[in-house]
Amino acid sequence: MTALQPVRGTTDQLADVRARHNHVVTTAQQIAARYGFEDMATPIFEFTEVFSKPLGASSDVVTKETYSFEDRGGSSLTLRPEGTAGCMRAVISNGLTQSLPLRWFYHGPMFRYERPQKGRMRQFHQIGAELIGVAGASADAEIIGLGAQILDGLGVLKDTSLHLNSLGDSQSREQYKSALLAYLGKFEDQLSQDSKRRLASNPLRILDSKDATDRQIIADAPSLSDALTDDAKQHFEQVTNLLDSAGIAWQFDPLLVRGLDYYAHTAFEFITDKLGAQGTVLGGGRYDGLSEMLGGPALPAVGFAAGIERLALLAELPDTPAETIAIFAATAEAMSDCFAIAHELRDAALPVVMMHSGNMKKNMKSADRLNCRFSIIVGHETVGREWVIVRNMNDGSQDELERAELASDLREKLGLPAS
């Protein structure tokens, strides 16, 4: 019988991977809290229309990448492929349109059926932030600033470059679409199959094509910046001025687009080449039209998302001193005292790993593998006594410590504050 394996595109997060994952989430949470962003979470699955309405029922994401299914009640449900639509649905369905602005931070699994590759899986994880209810350029700049500080806190910012573009307002985009369609129409027979499909439904997405021939054609396409209205130009200028004032470096990228109609004004991506080909580690933009697409009122909003797997590959883990204590009984008779001491120390908020069996040499190896800083040996000579043997795992030295003072003595040795 073949051994069971995880489903393709999924992976088990064992301890070392989980430690990096948690470091990304914790760092991002702490920095988001400085900005006044509150933790929230939406369900892992939603009614399919939450994603099909804004993304388009015929879009690649909906037709090729979503995990959709019919439940026993006959409703079509979809595992969330991204977090923003669910957040906006939560605003509407919880009646929060009178409680704006909302500053939300979230993290969790997302699901897309695509070819697994480094840093991208079919079940992947994201952090995200949404600032809902603020229309001004300062909100765009603040979201970008939050993203930059999260990357900096992870040691990743230095390996990225911030790309910016303006998608303009609806008037700008309609004017630009006309000019772009007129230009691309001359090369329709040369475009890739994906771009030919997008020509009718989503021409802005062609600017994001990775096909070599498409890229050559796009190089001479009209620029979206030439179609911006005065209001759109002013909005983008205000964003860049605010970023400059904070010393956040950026570069203009006219091919950075969001092809969906609910996006507006600022689009941004932090891009790295440290994962092989250039890749986005954090990206977002303004999406003022999303609420109306979901049946809510017009609401300005801006946000970003970042893949935790990619960030974990790039992040610098802090050097944290070992604080764990191993404890084991050298004899069967000593197990009762050993268990009681472990319980007392844990009750004093000290991390203690219980070694349940094995000889002294094996237990010492296990304690070393777990990076324990101290080990407590409870042997026949200490049974019923008021002291125990504590070994320093770094230098092998041993002390006999009074059991009544054991917790406070270990705290002092570990450099921890008194409880």
In this structure, are 112 and 245 located in the same domain? yes
The pair of three-digit structure tokens given for residue 390, joined into one six-digit string: 């504590």
- Domain boundary (287, 314, 341) is at 314
- What residue ranges of the chain have pLDDT lower than 50? 58
In this structure, are 244 and 371 located in the same domain? no
CA–CA gap between residue 419 and residue 416 (Å, rounded) = 9
Total of domains in the chain: 2
In this structure, are 279 and 350 located in the same domain? no
Query: Is there a domain that residue 307 lies in?
Result: yes
Query: Is there a domain that residue 6 lies in?
Result: no
pLDDT of res. 294: 95
Query: One-letter amino acid identity for 265?
Result: H
Query: Is there a domain that residue 267 lies in?
Result: yes
CA–CA gap between residue 273 and residue 279 (Å, rounded) = 6
In this structure, are 340 and 297 located in the same domain? no
CA–CA gap between residue 397 and residue 151 (Å, rounded) = 41
Nearest of 232, 249, 231 to residue 240 by alpha carbon? 249
Instruction: Return the C-alpha torsion angle 87, 91, 92, 95, nearest 10.
Output: 160
CA–CA gap between residue 217 and residue 165 (Å, rounded) = 20
Query: Is there a domain that residue 195 lies in?
Result: no
What CATH number should be reported for the domain holding residue 105?
3.30.930.10
Query: Is there a domain that residue 165 lies in?
Result: yes
Q: How many CB atoms lie within 10 A of CB 153?
A: 18
Query: Is there a domain that residue 39 lies in?
Result: yes
CA–CA gap between residue 95 and residue 93 (Å, rounded) = 6
Q: Which domain holds residue 252?
A: 15-169+229-314
Q: What residues pair up with 302 in beta bridges, in sequence order?
A: 131, 286
pLDDT of res. 160: 96
Tell me the backbone φ, ψ of residue 84, rounded to 5 degrees.
Answer: -65, -45
Query: One-letter amino acid identity for 305?
Result: A
Tell me the backbone φ, ψ of residue 147, rounded to 5 degrees.
Answer: -60, -45
In this structure, are 364 and 298 located in the same domain? no
Asked whether the whole model's pTM tops 0.85, one would answer yes
Helix (H, G, I), strand (E, B) or coil at 316: coil
In this structure, are 269 and 392 located in the same domain? no
What is the total residue count of the chain? 419
In this structure, are 386 and 286 located in the same domain? no
In this structure, are 21 and 105 located in the same domain? yes
- Domain boundary (257, 287, 314) is at 314
Nearest of 157, 87, 22, 10 to residue 303 by alpha carbon? 87
Query: Is there a domain that residue 134 lies in?
Result: yes
- Domain boundary (314, 340, 365) is at 314
In this structure, are 294 and 369 located in the same domain? no
In this structure, are 58 and 26 located in the same domain? yes
The pair of three-digit structure tokens given for residue 22, joined into one six-digit string: 């948690």
CA–CA gap between residue 197 and residue 409 (Å, rounded) = 70
CB 193 within 8 A of CB 206: no
Region of residue 26 (left: phi > 0; alpha: psi -120 to 50; beta: else): alpha
Which residue has 């939450």 as its token pair?
50
In this structure, are 96 and 47 located in the same domain? yes
Query: Is there a domain that residue 77 lies in?
Result: yes
What CATH number should be reported for the domain holding residue 410?
3.40.50.800
In this structure, are 133 and 80 located in the same domain? yes
